[in-house]
Chain A
Amino acid sequence: MKKNIAIVDDHELVAKGVSQFFTDHPRFEVITILNDPLEALERIPILKPQIVLMDLDMPKLNGLELMEKVRARLPETHFVILTMHVDKNTVKKAMDLGAMGYVSKNADETEFIACVEKVAKGDKFYSQDAMQALLHNSSKIGKSNVAKLSALTPRETEILKHVAEGLSNKEIAEELFIAVRTVETHRKTVMEKLQVNKVAGLVRIAVQEGLI
């Protein structure tokens, strides 16, 4: 028995193009194309398709919200996101809300079909670019327990704090009523004592030590 597919996309052309991939397909059948997400919210629980192919950016109701609402009532429905947005936050949110598949609208047919096949079997499939987006990395600088500042004099600690506050050497000199050259020397000493060779290292330690 063929698996039933519903397509939700406010762009008629796109929806039609997608549906044509499944014309005469042995294992899948497109049972409905819905261009209005609110209509989709009504119809999907009635039609109970196994797979929903869905755009994200839609007027009135966003794809992720639609998915959340539908899955609250039909948790077994598999959602495949079909979108132009492949950024970390969106991908991550989709993943957290339980989307089984995630494909860029720029993906080629093979990747697209592969995705639907996998999802139909109950596996997750996130396309290459979506996975890559998830790897966009940043890290929060947290507090550390290792006291690194014990080697610094109070004046050096003060300089470190001002550097991390974004003050230039000149501004620090004015703030502390000392010469710019003196600030430069202190800065160098601080870097040596903390064994860092970049401003970034200074900033990180200042935050870890709670100076900021």
Chain B
Amino acid sequence: MNRYFIILLGVLCVSTGLRQDLADSVFNNIADVKTYNTDSAYTLLKNLSITTRKDSLRYIRVWAAILEDQGKLEEAKNLLLENISRCTSQDTAELSESTNNLGLLYSNQGENDSAGIYLIKSLEYRNQLGDSLKIAASLGNLGLLFSNQSNYQKAEEYLRKALNLKLKSSASTRSLGIGYLNLGLAIGNQGRYEEELGLYRLSLKYFQEINDLRGVSMLYNNFGWNYHHAIYNPDSAIFYYKKAIAIRKDLKNILGTAQSMTNLAELYIKLGNQTEALKLLEESEDLAFEADSKREIYLVELNYARFLESIGDYQAALEKLKVAEAYEDSVINLESRTKVLELETKYATAQKEQQIANQKLQLSEKEASLRTQQLQIAGLIGGLVILILFGLVFYNQYRAKQNQKLQAAILSEKERGFESIIIATEEERKRISKDLHDGIGQQLSALKMALNNMVGKVNDDEQREDLELISEQFSKSAEEVRQVSHQMMPRTLMDYGLIGAIEDLLQNSFKFSDIQYDFEHHNVDQRFEERVEISLYRVLQELINNVIKHSGASEVSVQLLKNKDKLVLFVEDNGKGLDGAKTDGQGFLNIKSRLDMVKGSVNYTPSLESGTSATVSIPIA
């Protein structure tokens, strides 16, 4: 069991190491962060804005890697398969990475045939690209795959090739450390333990050089294993296991800590020190619960059960198994519970059989029966694990799908709500504008006329002056009402369309300023959808406002063109530019939300004369 875990760690370690080699620095960083903190990597990745196809392919690959770390293996696998199918023959680099990751994923799942196919594909792509570090990485991965298949000679061959290539092409220290570690393991598995230790020492030197505690702790664990199982030296084994445990605790690597603890526990059992062994197992159990990680608890409990089983305490082993099962997802509980019940009966029967056998047979026979029983239990546990994993994958897929649906629904609901608010606002503006104009505006005009009429009839000079003053105020009020009404909903826009409305807007806006403007248009004589016209008008209103208030410009050019399937508006000034201005102000937000509604866009670039050039595009049907 322990050896298995060491190999598994080796694979994981190399796989993260490879992803670190990704070309682009952004994705590179994320892969880096992922080694230490999956959640942060996920957040970083989500915040990237992906614009090109190439980036989107990379994005999906890194996302798959994160999913894999989160244990969502099926989702990760599907994403990678999809990514590969989206690649064209020009995407050799992407193909090489995605096939590599997929191969590693299969390898982690124990599907060695598929793993081999993809890893070899990746190696072919990488040979085409000629990046020797990547080729070395592929060779290394294939070596590990052979290790998994217990073909250690082949493994040694590939891992050695990989290491030599890495040494020749000045690979990173970490990568060299990993190379020596994996080669050591393959050699150790062929019984050449001294050689193995020598390679480990070299590897240790590299990891220590860059202070890679993960690697160091892995090596200490393997040293411990060697002194424990191969070159029997219990004192050294205990020493190294303890060192590994200390570092892994510091790194909060719960799974690793638990593994080293289990290894040490096993050694203590061998030494007849069951109390110490139990203590360690208990501690690793506590660690897992403390971290509140379902996956770790599940694995630690499983180890604990195996240990208890190996010392013949079936009842306790069953308890631990039940705990492990409780930490799997509830969806699969029904199935697995029946499985556990079955297991329980089988345990009980097995125990009775064992007792009878004990009475009937001699000690040697008793041992033989114990062995069969252990095999049975191992088989059952294996079955259970597969069942649980299957259920877990199914449940995760289901949950992800539900979540996606919910998000989409929320988003469309938000959009709809937002759109209806704007539409309602425009309707209301139209109504108020009409009321102001036709009601209050007209009445003010009428009152003013009536007043003027009176002025003519009054003889008293003083009174006449007062009345004239009042009449002037009426004029101002009427003009103000007209202005407000116009701003709320320009009737020109409704009656004559964009060109007329823009002419009016520009004239009225710049009337009282020193800004010179010109307005040119091309191919826009027709009318457009009302919401497109209003949106474009309002956006221009905001842009003009910004020019007047903030730009300090003396000239503005406005151009409106229709071009195939979109309306394009250029607003360019010669002011002081956007550098100092906040593009997150209310005005800019208004522009953005207006345009969102009609699926339009805006971009601001500095104009050559140091002013600003805003370009607005709105698609038209």
| A residues whose Cβ falls under 8 Å from a Cβ of B | 11, 13-14, 16-18, 20-21, 23, 57, 84-85, 87-90, 105-106, 108-109, 132-133, 136-141, 164-166, 168-170, 174, 191, 197-200, 203-204, 207, 212
CA distance A16 to B451 in the complex (A): 12
Q: Given A174-B52, A200-B572, do A106 and B478 touch, yes or no (CB 8 Å)?
A: yes
Q: Let me know if A84 and B570 touch, CB within 8 A.
A: no
CA distance A196 to B568 in the complex (A): 20
**Chain A residue nearest in CB terms to B52:** A174
Q: Given A138-B521, A141-B520, do A17 and B450 touch, yes or no (CB 8 Å)?
A: yes
Residue B113 CB within 8 A of the other chain: no
Q: Let me know if B522 and A207 touch, CB within 8 A.
A: yes
Q: Given A21-B453, A168-B603, A199-B570, do A14 and B608 touch, yes or no (CB 8 Å)?
A: no
Residue B172 CB within 8 A of the other chain: no
Q: Which of B253-261, B309-317, B490-498, B584-592 sits within the interface?
A: B490-498
Nearest Cβ in chain A — how far from B91, in angstroms?
A: 14
B:452-493 near A, CB below 8 Å: 452-453, 456, 475, 478-479, 482, 491-492
Q: Let me know if B557 and A17 touch, CB within 8 A.
A: no
CA distance A14 to B475 in the complex (A): 14
Q: Let me know if B504 and A106 touch, CB within 8 A.
A: no
Q: Let me know if A137 and B503 touch, CB within 8 A.
A: yes
Residue B561 CB within 8 A of the other chain: yes
Q: Let me know if A18 and B617 touch, CB within 8 A.
A: no
A-B contact count (CB 8 A): 151
CA distance A140 to B519 in the complex (A): 9
Top-6 shortest CB links A-B: A17-B449, A13-B446, A166-B568, A200-B557, A20-B453, A105-B445
Q: How large is the interface on B (under 10, 10 to 19, 20 to 34, 35 or more residues)?
A: 35 or more
B:534-570 near A, CB below 8 Å: 557, 559, 561, 563-564, 566, 568, 570
Q: Which of B104-112, B174-182, B436-444 sits within the interface?
A: B436-444
- Which residue of the partner chain, among A21, A57, A138, A139, contacts B449 with CB atoms under 8 Å? A21
Contacts of B450 in A (CB 8 A): 13, 16-17, 20
B:42-86 near A, CB below 8 Å: 51-52
Question: Which of A88, A138, A141, A197 has most chain B Cβ within 10 Å?
Answer: A138
Q: Given A139-B520, A141-B520, do A89 and B479 touch, yes or no (CB 8 Å)?
A: no
| B residues whose Cβ falls under 8 Å from a Cβ of A | 51-52, 437-438, 441-443, 445-450, 452-453, 456, 475, 478-479, 482, 491-492, 495-496, 499-500, 502-504, 506-507, 518-523, 557, 559, 561, 563-564, 566, 568, 570, 572, 574, 603, 605, 607-609, 613, 615-617
Nearest Cβ in chain B — how far from A127, in angstroms?
A: 13
**Chain A residue nearest in CB terms to B496:** A89
Q: Let me know if B438 and A57 touch, CB within 8 A.
A: yes
Q: Given A13-B442, A106-B478, A212-B563, do A197 and B609 touch, yes or no (CB 8 Å)?
A: yes
Q: Let me know if B559 and A204 touch, CB within 8 A.
A: yes
Q: Let me know if A200 and B500 touch, CB within 8 A.
A: no
CA distance A212 to B561 in the complex (A): 9
Nearest Cβ in chain A — how far from B571, in angstroms?
A: 9
15 A-B contacts, Cβ less than 8 Å apart? A14-B446, A17-B452, A84-B442, A87-B504, A88-B500, A89-B496, A141-B521, A141-B561, A166-B566, A166-B616, A199-B570, A200-B518, A200-B520, A204-B520, A207-B522
Q: Let me know if A166 and B492 touch, CB within 8 A.
A: no
Contacts of A109 in B (CB 8 A): 449, 452, 456
Q: Given A84-B437, A139-B520, A197-B609, do A207 and B561 touch, yes or no (CB 8 Å)?
A: yes
Q: Let me know if A18 and B449 touch, CB within 8 A.
A: yes
**Chain B residue nearest in CB terms to A18:** B449
Q: Let me know if A138 and B499 touch, CB within 8 A.
A: yes
Question: Which of B443, B449, B482 has most chain A Cβ within 10 Å?
Answer: B449
Contacts of A106 in B (CB 8 A): 445, 448, 475, 478-479, 482
